Structure 1
Amino acid sequence: MKIIKTDIDGVYILEPKVFGDHRGWFTETYSKRKFKELGIDIEFIQDNHSFSAEKGTLRGLHFQINPKAQTKLVRCTKGKILDVAVDIRKGSPTYKNWVAVELTEENKKQLLIPKGFAHGFLSLTDNVEVQYKVDDYYAPDCDRSIRFNDPEIGVDWGIRNPILSEKDVKAPLLKDSDSNFIY
């Protein structure tokens, strides 16, 4: 497994080794031991799987506030997405900065997103499947979102009118959210 640093400390792109032959391929997407060797000591406890039928579906920007904040390890297992992590830790030198990575079923890259970040993704193809591991359970009372097009953050999604859920349409701006992350 190869670890690639991004412009934001703690957000990493992970490239697993892929072994292929005439039958297909095999890859190890997670190994607690190998992650520890890379300096990533996280105990994942839940796996999530989402499906987006149409290209242009945007999910996010989502996070859970403390005390149920989550670290996520995201991968796209069918299709292609633009995966985005936004630093929402007040006082951070990269506060409101974001990282965007294209994750595809072909490149098999993964994005590690630590606590204190909002996460979202845009489906770049039809019939997209995204799977991700988290290190804390889903807690509806701590579930939050911020508007995907918050002008103070300025994520370049490359789309004007994405397909959004009701929750994402009504999401507040970061300045109006009750995000409780301190750097």
Structure 2
Amino acid sequence: MRIQPCALPGVYEITPTPRSDHRGYFMRTYDRKIWADHGLDRQWVQENESFSQRKGTIRGLHLQLPPYAETKLVRVTKGAIFDVFVDLRADSATFGQWGSIELTADNRKMVYIPSGFAHGFCTLADDCAVAYKVDNFYTPAYEGGVIWNDGTLGIAWPLEGEPVISSKDSLLPSLQMFTRMHQHRDLKG
């Protein structure tokens, strides 16, 4: 398993190393000792899966607010996504910056996203399944997020036309509004 830091501090790209033979492959997607050796040991308390039928579906940009802030470990089990993470930690030198990684069932990569980051993705194929572990329990009253197309973020979504998006996600606030609403809150939980 290869664990590499991304450009935004606290985010990691994880690439499992499958062992293949004539039957197929076996791979480890989590090993507490290896993760602890990299300072990433978490107590995962929930695992979720989303399924999107159509290419061009955007989900996000979401986060949980403290005291229910979550670290996420995201991977694709079917299809491909353009995965995006945005630093919303007010005290961070990279506040308001975003990064991305292409996660596919074929490349088997995962991304580790710490609390204080908003997360979202755009499907690059039809019929995408995304699994993610979190280290805190989902609590609807502590949902937060930023609108996917905020101009100050300038995320280069790989879209061909209009996205498929939920009405709830289309009503998320701008980065500026989110910052005003949570200016006195430590988002790292």
Q: TM-score, normalised by structure 2?
A: 0.93
2:170 alignment partner in structure 1? 169
Distance 1:45 1:182 in 2: 19
Distance 2:65 2:18 in 1: 35
| Conserved? CA contact 1:91–1:182, under 8 Å | no
| Conserved? CA contact 1:2–1:15, under 8 Å | yes
Distance 1:30 1:154 in 2: 33
1:23 alignment partner in structure 2? 23
Q: What displacement does 1:38 show?
A: 2.1
Number of equivalent positions: 183
Paired residue secondary structure (2:85): strand
| Conserved? CA contact 2:65–2:187, under 8 Å | no
Paired residue secondary structure (2:81): strand
Which digits, 9 at most, give the CA deviation of each residue in 1:51-92, with x for residues without a partner? 000000000000011110000000001000000110001121
Q: What displacement does 1:33 show?
A: 1.7
Alignment of 1:1-183 (within 5 A): 1-159=1-159, 160-177=161-178, 178-179=181-182, 180-181=185-186
Paired residue secondary structure (2:169): helix
Distance 1:21 1:117 in 2: 39
Distance 1:181 1:100 in 2: 24
Q: What displacement does 1:182 show?
A: 5.6
| Conserved? CA contact 2:3–2:14, under 8 Å | yes
Which digits, 9 at most, give the CA deviation of each residue in 1:129-150, with x for residues without a partner? 0000000000000011210011
Distance 2:29 2:168 in 1: 31
In angstroms, what is the RMSD of aligned CA positions? 1.2
Q: What runs of 5+ residues in structure 1 fail to find an aligned partner?
A: none
Paired residue secondary structure (2:63): strand
After alignment, is 64-73 or 18-27 more displaced? 18-27
| Conserved? CA contact 1:77–1:104, under 8 Å | yes
After alignment, is 16-25 or 114-123 more displaced? 16-25
| Conserved? CA contact 1:92–1:182, under 8 Å | no
Q: What displacement does 1:175 show?
A: 1.5
Q: TM-score, normalised by structure 1?
A: 0.96
Distance 1:182 1:130 in 2: 24
| Conserved? CA contact 1:80–1:103, under 8 Å | yes
Distance 2:166 2:111 in 1: 23
Q: What runs of 5+ residues in structure 2 fail to find an aligned partner?
A: none
Counterpart amino acid of 2:69?
A: A
